[in-house]
Structure 1
Amino acid sequence: MMIGDVSTLDKGDEPETQGVVASSSNVFRRLRPVPAYKVVSEELERLIVSGRLKPGDPLPTEQELSESFGVNRSTVREAIRQIEQEGMLERREGRRLFVCLPGLFDLAPRATRMLMLQQTTFEELWETAVTLEPLAARLAAANANAEDLARLQANINATAALTLPGEQPDSELAELVDLDVEFHALVGAASHNRPLMLAREPISLLYKPTLRRIYARIPQSKSRALAAHRRIVEGLANADAQLAVDWTQKHMVDFHRGFQMADLDMKAPIRLFLRP
């Protein structure tokens, strides 16, 4: 199987460097060589994104790709590894590779790392969340189906069983935090708006260590969160967007207040909150 309409590359790990001698006017500058595996991975990604290679399609063998692109198999192997990391390929039937759609959790950790590298503060994160979460609730009120509501109710039931007054073991607090993060992800999923789901997922991954601190230092915050979740689901179940949005906003403001009461610094880089 021949792949794409790309120029044939010389065999080897990298294409030959294209050098341009600078003139006295410094108009020209040397071009940087691009590793051959990156050229191959970018072409494979282009074919997947364009739909020429569709989810479920088997990827040609390393030998076939090597012949199509005019590179050696080690170059193809490295290119494939790059595409697998993007979540666009999966191995089935032994070691055979198939095209697939990347899931949210394939992309979210990468975005989370980028937020950390950019020295993003929790205040910035909250400013984004306080916009995205009410939007998710508004869309979910219009689009949630019976299955969405059943999942949300199951989440609330599990949360209620673990929401106890006073201090609790770390293991129970960890479960409560997981359920809280899951609740907001379920509301996002009930919106049935895929760009929104993708946009909010990296933010939700960063809630975990912070929520754990708040629950541990302010025990009453657990029951307040549960009460807010119940009212949000009430709004979704009755297709009452205003109720769902109002309670989501109250919930986010309450979270902000809990953050301050727990004596946590909103202006600190989020990487600090990922420490145990």
Structure 2
Amino acid sequence: MVVKPIQRSSAAAKVFETLYEMIATGQFQRGQKLPSQDDLAKQFGVSRNTLREAINKLSAMGLLSSHQGIGTVVESPHPAGYLSALSGQFLLDPLSVREFIEARICIERNAVRLAVAHAKPEDLTRLRNNLMLQDRALKNQDTAEFTRQDADFHLELARICGNRVLLKFLQTIHDMLQRFIGEVSGLPGAVDDALRFHTRIADAIAAKDPDQAEQLVVRHLFDVVRRIESNLHIDLEKESLCGFKLIRSIPGATGARRSRKT
């Protein structure tokens, strides 16, 4: 298999993208041994160090594995490993941040409505226990523990909703979600506001109010958008993605801004 040389010298990312596409499209198939690193580096027109960086990233995603005496072999990846490997880069890329939050809005607003319909007393007890652990972590200024409990709160909503597909989706992105929350939790006021939103969401579920629960979830995620924009000086609203028109228009949403004229 011959690959085209990389034209630009930022190369590691381009090598990664090319190899990823070749694996995803079946040009390199599961169980197939890749050419030697020397050969691949020559075909791409990059150094071995650059090639190794791309291979290491693909290995972390579960797409490749190295075997003594054999070489580098194509594997069948697990989605959670793929997402976990990518999650550390999310706050470096505004588009990825926007898409991740949008995906959460699309999933979690529906999950919480189902949670209202299906919540049992024992489910509400688990939510309250989780909120107590969040509050304790907040008082102890333990951001790492708060991050774990924050991610578990959102996973608990999916458990309560009774839909196994939604639950599996959030379980798959759990590592990514926890790392994302960990980054956002370092921003001023983020932890306090998150706990307030979580408490009100639990109250809405207990009150059997699906509209209020859905609105609070969306406002909570909008608050994350606003906080990232204001503290990291990036604009997540360059494009109108589904969900963002809605959260901009919710009355009383924290930091809401007027819609832009077209």
Q: TM-score, with normalisation over the residues of structure 2?
A: 0.54
Structure having the higher Rg:
1
Shift of the 232–182 alpha-carbon distance from structure 1 to 2, 3 Å rule, reads same
Shift of the 263–196 alpha-carbon distance from structure 1 to 2, 3 Å rule, reads same
TM-aligned CA deviation for residue 224 of structure 1: 0.9
- Please list the CA deviations of residues 239-267 of structure 1 after superposition, one character each: whole Å capped at 9, or x if unmatched: 21111111111101011112223307577
Residues 1:196 and 2:166 aligned together: yes
1:237 aligned residue (206, 209, 221):
206
Residues 1:127 and 2:102 aligned together: yes
- Please list the CA deviations of residues 78-133 of structure 1 after superposition, one character each: whole Å capped at 9, or x if unmatched: xxxx9xx99xxxxxxxxxxxxxxxxxxx853345457889x981221111111111
Supply the distance in 2 between the matched residues of 1:153 and 1:260 (Cα, whole angstroms).
31
- Residue equivalent to 2:121: 146
Residues 1:109 and 2:81 aligned together: yes
Supply the distance in 2 between the matched residues of 1:224 and 1:34 (Cα, whole angstroms).
46
Supply the distance in 2 between the matched residues of 1:201 and 1:152 (Cα, whole angstroms).
17
- Residue equivalent to 1:257: 226
Shift of the 252–132 alpha-carbon distance from structure 1 to 2, 3 Å rule, reads same
Residues 1:207 and 2:177 aligned together: yes
Aligned length: 164
- Please list the CA deviations of residues 161-218 of structure 1 after superposition, one character each: whole Å capped at 9, or x if unmatched: 22249xx4xxx11001001000000001100100111123333421333322332231
Q: Which runs of 4+ in 1 moved over 6 A?
A: 32-35, 114-117
Supply the distance in 2 between the matched residues of 1:131 and 1:112 (Cα, whole angstroms).
20
Supply the distance in 1 between the matched residues of 2:172 and 2:235 (Cα, whole angstroms).
18
2:112 aligned residue (124, 137, 140):
137
**Contact 2:151–2:181 (Cα < 8 Å) also in 1:** no
Equivalent position SS for 1:250: helix
Shift of the 110–234 alpha-carbon distance from structure 1 to 2, 3 Å rule, reads same
**Contact 2:116–2:206 (Cα < 8 Å) also in 1:** yes
Supply the distance in 2 between the matched residues of 1:204 and 1:33 (Cα, whole angstroms).
28
Supply the distance in 2 between the matched residues of 1:184 and 1:129 (Cα, whole angstroms).
10
* Aligned pairs for 1:155-174 within 5 A: 155-164=130-139, 168=141, 172-174=142-144
User: Unpaired runs of 5+ in structure 1?
Assistant: 1-31, 36-81, 87-105, 268-276
Supply the distance in 1 between the matched residues of 2:130 and 2:217 (Cα, whole angstroms).
16
- Please list the CA deviations of residues 136-180 of structure 1 after superposition, one character each: whole Å capped at 9, or x if unmatched: 100000011122111110000111122249xx4xxx110010010
The percentage of aligned residue pairs carrying the same residue is 23
Equivalent position SS for 1:163: helix
- Please list the CA deviations of residues 27-65 of structure 1 after superposition, one character each: whole Å capped at 9, or x if unmatched: xxxxx9997xxxxxxxxxxxxxxxxxxxxxxxxxxxxxx
Q: TM-score, with normalisation over the residues of structure 1?
A: 0.51
> What CA RMSD, in Å, does the superposition of the two structures yield over aligned residues?
3.2
Supply the distance in 2 between the matched residues of 1:129 and 1:184 (Cα, whole angstroms).
10
Residues 1:178 and 2:148 aligned together: yes
